[in-house]
Amino acid sequence: MPELSLGADAAAVNALRSAVMRLSRRIKHQRVDESLSPTEMSVLGTLARCGTATPGELARKEHVQPPSMTRIVAMLEAKGLVRLEPHPDDRRQKVVMQTEQAEEMLEESRRKRNVWLAELASGLDEDEWEALRAAAPVLEKLAHL
């Protein structure tokens, strides 16, 4: 892998950061349920990707303090989006799992965001669209490093 020098690539890194941040903010506004915070949506997304988790595991994955996660889980439970079940191995703990209502809401949210992004991308020419298709796996890799 080539080592990037921020000096030589500072403009490209700055442009990439700025574009990704702006696009991310715009995508986040394409929500189905406006009553959920971005953090609550993120927790639901994590549960959808990773399956059940303890509140402590969710706190680590979401980079929040455990007491904050306890409050988030309680709010999501009150809205019927998650449920707490006994931990299969440790009776002192609970595991958090999303409900069918959460799955449906996340699917509708994905659909809405995909439609919005497709409409936005329809303004690109074929070369731009091809470059974007080629960049998607690279951006995905960066998101998970």
- Walk along the chain (145 residues) and give the pLDDT tens digit of each residue: 555 566 668 888 888 999 999 998 888 888 777 788 888 989 999 999 999 999 999 999 999 999 999 999 999 999 999 999 998 888 888 999 999 999 999 999 999 999 999 999 999 999 999 999 999 999 989 887 8
Q: Give pLDDT, residue 18.
A: 92
Residues near 75 by beta carbon (within 8 Å), at least 6 away in sequence? 40
Model pLDDT, residue 29: 81
Contact 87, 95 (CB under 8 A): yes
**How much is the pLDDT for 131?**
94
**Cβ(56)–Cβ(69) below 8 Å:** yes
What pTM, to 2 d.p., does this model score? 0.75
Q: Can you say how many angstroms the Cα of residue 30 is from the centroid of all Cα atoms in its chain?
A: 13
For 105-141, b where at least 16 C-beta lie within 10 A, e where not — what string? bbeebeeebeeeeeeeeeeeeeeeeeeeeeeeeeeee
According to the model, what pLDDT value does residue 8 have? Answer: 60
Q: In the CATH scheme, what architecture does the domain 34-143 have?
A: Orthogonal Bundle (1.10)
